[in-house]
Homo-oligomer: A and B are copies of this chain.
Amino acid sequence: MTESSPALAAARDEVAAAVETMLDRLLPQPEGSTARLDEAMRYACLGGGKRFRPFLTVACGDLFGVPRPRSLRAGAAIEMLHGYSLVHDDLPCMDDDDLRRGRPTVHRAFDEATAVLAGDGLQAEAFAVLADPATHPDPGVRAELVAGLAAAAGARGMVGGQAIDLAAEVRTAAGRPLDYAEIAGLQALKTGALIRFAAEAGAVLGQALLEEKAVLRDYAAEMGLAFQIADDILDHEGTVAELGKAIGKDAGAGKATFVSLLGLEEARAKARALTTSAQARLDRFGPPAAVLQALAEFVITRRS
């Protein structure tokens, strides 16, 4: 496996385009007196993003022969949930960010109240998409998807992780930044829970064995942590032009990062070890898993 896989790049481009089309179709069309809200929800989700989570759902679904229209719907729902979390994380009372993906954040492009509501609406729409019979004819599969997304999104998932992250800032300001285990635990909730579910959702749609679901969750957990370590390394090394957001912000605020805690070399080694382990878990699926193994490689070698 090379660091840059042409097959992966082509697969990611194809899925990203299909996800964009699906999101465009599923998100409410701007209409009447809710037009501003509708525009904000679309602005938050369309025209940007790596589409990393929906790609995971689609590629994991492919392992079990899941029809693309189903995995793309589930992937789009997960991307709506992800989009809502970014809108709320960027709010003045949270991370107070003006830029996201090189564009004004939703509360800057619209206003703060619309940003809160757009996030709220995106979360509801994500569940609406999963509960729709078009996502899977078996209601048991739909209910399992909803339960999985709700767990990944809630107080013991993404929202809990964000709350811990806010509390960490208070600790940092008091001179007691988090240690490695605490940051890894925080990330396992804040970003890991949804990444694990994105992979598992492909297996749920494929009505895979419990054991297969667990393997994909574990693969995604290791890749997700490697992703965050790589993010910290990029943040440490990056430039404004490459990332489209203020650089070194986390480090500049005295906040503990994987790089500040482990040092650059050990952080790189840790990301590599996680990636190798994640890739090995997929050997049981044989050649069809090559694209997911290449994705894990990409996560730690990307430049943005």
Binding site for B on A (CB under 8 A): 28, 33-34, 36-38, 41, 84, 88, 91, 93-94, 111-114, 116-117, 119-121, 123-125, 127-128, 130-133, 138-140, 142-144, 146-147, 149-151, 153-157, 159-160, 162-164, 166-167, 182, 186
Contact = CB atoms under 8 A, between A and B. Distances in A.
A36 B139 CA distance: 36
Contact of A139 (B38, B127, B143, B186): B143
15 contacts: A28-B155, A33-B163, A33-B164, A34-B156, A34-B160, A36-B167, A38-B155, A121-B159, A123-B123, A124-B155, A124-B157, A127-B127, A127-B146, A131-B150, A146-B146
How many copies of this protein are present in the complex? 2
A159 B120 contact: yes
A143 B155 contact: no
A144 B139 CA distance: 9
Given A127-B146, A127-B150, 15 more contacts: A33-B163, A33-B164, A37-B159, A37-B160, A38-B155, A88-B116, A88-B117, A91-B113, A116-B116, A123-B124, A124-B154, A127-B149, A131-B143, A139-B139, A146-B146
Q: Summarize A's interface: helix, strand, loop or mixed.
A: helix
A106 to B, nearest CB: 12
Contacts of A133: 143
Contacts of A156: 28, 34
Given A128-B150, A154-B128, A155-B38, A160 B116 contact: no
Which of A28, A93, A121, A124 has the most chain B CB atoms inside 10 A of its CB? Answer: A124
